[in-house]
Chain A
Amino acid sequence: MNLPGTGIIKGMVETARNFVGSYHDPERLTTIEYPEERLTQPENARSFPMLIFDDDPVKGLRCVACKICEKECPPQCIYIVQDRDERGKPRKFPRIFDLDISVCMSCQICVEVCPFDSIKMNTEFELSTDDRFGRLLLHRDDLAKSNEYYHQIHATEAAEVDARLADEKAKAEAKAKPAAAKPASPVPTAAKAAAPAQPAAPVKSPAADKPAAKPASPAEPAAA
């Protein structure tokens, strides 16, 4: 049996070591003064989703309003209305894309299921506001972020996505070329096939498995 009190003294020595260490050992200095100092976020960090556009913040949106993310979102925080032209024909563009970040739980499933690499996770976290209904319901224009911004926050992932999109675009063009070359007369159809090459994958029915079965996660750059 030890002398009574030795255990406490041993613990005190440990705290003293930490206290003294905090003056010179960076291992013991674990906190930073947040608003002034900031840690760099890891590349994989995620907060809430955003929509990627290529050139124009409205016309260049990659989103085609296929509503897969709306359907798959576990807490159902996405609301999409597809745009229609003057004659009421649906356009591959979201007229409304609302995302309630007071409901969103940042699970990233929308990102994984999106076949068009259109929705990605933002890393912005300073989102507190006193306007519960206005600022926590993000609309399409709040969500739209440029591809350059995406490259800034998730460099590796964005490079993979760009490579994959370029690859798919090249494949789609290669497919469209022989189709256009063989039958001379149906040029309009061939042009139509080549025109939506920007989102690359064909959009026949949003529920089709094909585009979704292909992993949208950054995990399989080699497989894709």
Chain B
Amino acid sequence: MRPDSAEPDLSALSTGDLVVESPAAVPAPPPPATSGFELTPKPATAPDADRGLLEVAIGPHHPSTHGVFRLNAVLDGERIVRFKPVFGYLHRNHEKIGENGTYLSAMPYTDRLDYFCSLSNNWAYALAVEKLAGLAVPERADYIRIITAELTRIQNHAALIGFLLQELGAMGTPLMYAFREREKILDLFEALTGARMMCNYLRFGGCRCDLPAGWLEECRRVVEGLPRFFDEFENLLSTNEILMARTQGIGVLPPELAVSAGVTGPMLRASGVNYDLRKVDRYGLYDRFEFRVPLGEHGDVYDRYMVRILEMRESAKILQQALREVPGGPIVDPKVKLRNFRPKAGEAYGRLESPKGELGFYLISDGSTNPYRYRIRPPSFINLTILEDMCQGLTLQDALVILGAVDIVMGEVDR
């Protein structure tokens, strides 16, 4: 199914100009293509300069691009010759805003990075600031963080699979099933934080407010219903022949390429690399919980789908364990000031396993109320860089499915 370019050729590891060229072929540049066509095909991939390559801009407003995002595809018939992501349409100067405001005022902006997973983003930023300022987090707050982060992971993966199936042509049904479940989780978020998506819930050294009365019971009820949803979702999709035909062997990402391109998250694990920051860093209290890290074998789109399904199941396990033993006590370090919060001069990098991969915040403090440097390592941006490598030689329809399985959110890619 997969053409020969699947072998990790060294030149394919570059993320710059991603056209695979054999080093031997260095002929004279061919004359420009006929009829004023500006695009000169690369000699190695296009020995025949006369064959009609077609450049298509997909997006920036296209339903399958997950936001305002453009894909410049050079097509040979339906096959992809080049596939360049063009982004920046949603650039909001997030990092500069973070540097110009106080540490606290960047917190609500992190909600808007990956707007599906605001609570994970909050946590990553809080982790970085806590590392910078040397703050400890009360146990109860850590439990709340884990519960909210795992709920976030479940709703993100469920919604993503829904969108992926939407791109495969399963109009609506899987997406609506996923959204039905996501809705329950968003209701929990609303009851806890006041907002469904822009939660702005975590604070340095803890959480903003305690769990409202009855929230834990409601959460347990939702978590108990989750395995039933996963079964239903898998019955609906996992053995579906159309899904299998469209995803198995498509968009294979070899582990070497994944590692050298810095890919993280379910994409990396679908390629069979066992790297989960919850196990590697053991931030928060993740070493207290028993869960496994699902790994893929082939690194194709189907494995990415399956890894996400299995991750949701593992998240539900973590949730069951965490909900069983939420301790009492304070939810925030009382010494932390809300205003005039000045960490000592220094730098810190806080990272965690967000649903999309390794989300990191790098902060440099000069001792003032705002960070001197505020930098984000967005997982979906870095996972996007190898899009062309995965799409080489496949058809356009496959490329959109591969893009869907990368799991990008433009708020995070463009920042």
Q: Spell out A's residues near B (CB within 8 Å).
A: 2, 4-8, 10-11, 13-15, 18, 30, 41-46, 68, 72-74, 105-109, 112-113, 121, 156, 209, 212-213, 215-220, 223
| Known A-B contacts A11-B236, A72-B104; A44 and B194 likewise in contact (beta carbons under 8 Å) | yes
Residues of A contacting B334 in the complex (Cβ-Cβ under 8 angstroms): 215, 220, 223
State the CA gap A121–B198 with chains docked (Å). 14
Main secondary structure of the interface of A (DSSP, over half): loop
Q: Is B108 an interface residue (CB 8 A)?
A: yes
B residues in contact with A68, CB < 8 Å: 339
Are A8's CB and B108's CB within 8 A? no
Q: Which of A4, A44, A107, A215 contacts B198, CB < 8 Å?
A: A107
Q: Is the CB of A219 within 8 A of B235?
A: no
How would residues 256 to 274 of chain B score, 1 for a CB under 8 Å from any chain A CB and 0 otherwise?
Answer: 0000000000000000000
Q: B207 contacts the other chain (Cβ, under 8 Å)?
A: yes
22 contacts between A and B (CB under 8 A): A5-B241, A6-B239, A10-B240, A11-B235, A11-B236, A11-B237, A15-B236, A41-B190, A42-B194, A44-B193, A44-B209, A46-B194, A74-B101, A105-B108, A105-B112, A109-B104, A109-B107, A112-B338, A213-B337, A219-B209, A219-B332, A223-B334
B107 surroundings in chain A (CB, below 8 A): 107, 109
- Please measure, in the bound complex, the distance between the C-alpha atom of A44 and the C-alpha atom of B338, giving whole angstroms: 20
User: Please, which residues of chain A bring their CB within 8 A of the CB of B6?
Assistant: none
**B contact residues around A107 at 8 Å (CB):** 107-108, 111, 198, 200
Known: A14-B232, A46-B195, A209-B339. A108 touches B200 (CB 8 A): yes
Query: CB-CB < 8 A to A106: which residues of B?
Result: 195, 198
The digit string for B347-377, where 1 denotes a CB below 8 A from any CB of A, is 0000000000000000000000000000000
Cα A15 to Cα B332 in complex, Å, equals 45
Over the window 217-251 of chain B, the binary record of Cβ atoms lying under 8 Å from chain A Cβ atoms (1 yes, 0 no) is 00000000000000010011111111110000000
Q: How many A-B residue pairs have CB under 8 A?
A: 115
Closest to B225 in A: A27
User: Which residue of chain B has the shortest Cβ distance to A5 in the bound complex?
Assistant: B241
Assess the A219–B240 pair: CB atoms within 8 A: no
* Contact residues, B98-112 vs A (CB, 8 A): 101-102, 104-109, 111-112
Judge whether A213 and B332 touch: CB under 8 Å. no
Q: Would you call B119 an interface residue if the criterion is a C-beta within 8 Å of the partner chain's C-beta atoms? A: no
Kindly provide the distance from the CB of A2 to the nearest chain B CB, expressed in whole angstroms: 7
Picked from B209, B213, B235, B240, the residue with its CB within 8 Å of the CB of A217 is B209
B110 to A: closest C-beta gap in Å: 11
Residues of B within 8 A of A212 (CB): 337-340
Sample of 8 further A-B pairs with CB below 8 A, known A15-B236, A45-B190, A72-B102: A8-B242, A41-B190, A73-B105, A74-B97, A107-B108, A212-B340, A215-B338, A220-B332
**B interface residues, Cβ below 8 angstroms from A:** 97, 101-102, 104-109, 111-112, 173, 177, 180, 183, 187, 190-195, 198, 200, 207-210, 212-213, 232, 235-244, 330-332, 334, 337-340
The closest CB in chain A to the CB of B335 belongs to A213
| Complex Cα–Cα for A42 and B339 (A) | 28
Residues of A within 8 A of B198 (CB): 105-107
List the A side residues contacting B193 at CB < 8 Å: 44
Evaluate contact between B207 and A219: CB separation under 8 angstroms: yes
By beta carbon, the residue of chain B nearest A15 is B173
A125 to chain B, nearest CB (A): 11
Q: Which of B180, B208, B213, B240 interacts with A11 by CB under 8 Å?
A: B240
By the criterion CB–CB under 8 Å, are B240 and A8 in contact? yes
User: Quick one: closest B residue to A223, CB to CB?
Assistant: B334
Contacts of A15 in B (CB 8 A): 173, 236
A2 touches B239 (CB 8 A): yes
Say whether, besides A2-B239, A212-B338, A215-B338, A121 and B105 are in contact (CB < 8 Å): no
Contact B210–A74 (Cβ < 8 Å): no
In contact, B194 and A121 (Cβ under 8 angstroms): yes
Q: Which residues of B contact A213 (CB under 8 A)?
A: 337-339
Q: Which residues of B contact A14 (CB under 8 A)?
A: 232, 235-236
B337 and chain A: residue at smallest CB distance: A213
Q: Are A72 and B212 in contact (CB under 8 A)?
A: no
Shortest CB-to-CB span from B126 to chain A, Å, is 15
Q: Contact: B209 with A72, CB < 8 Å?
A: no
Give the distance in Å from the alpha carbon of A105 to the alpha carbon of B118 in the complex: 14
A113 touching B338 in the complex, CB below 8 Å, given contacts A10-B239, A72-B105, A106-B195: yes
* Residues A112 and B109 in contact in the complex (CB < 8 Å), given A7-B241, A8-B241, A10-B235: no
User: For the complex, what is the distance from the CA of A44 to the CA of B193, rounded to whole Å?
Assistant: 7
Chain A neighbourhood of B190, CB < 8 A: 41-42, 44-45
Q: Give, as a whole number of angstroms, the nearest-CB distance from A160 to chain B.
A: 11
Contacting residues, chain A, for B340 (C-beta < 8 A): 209, 212
Q: In the complex, what's the smallest C-beta–C-beta distance from A69 to chain B, in angstroms?
A: 11
Least CB separation from B106: chain A residue: A74
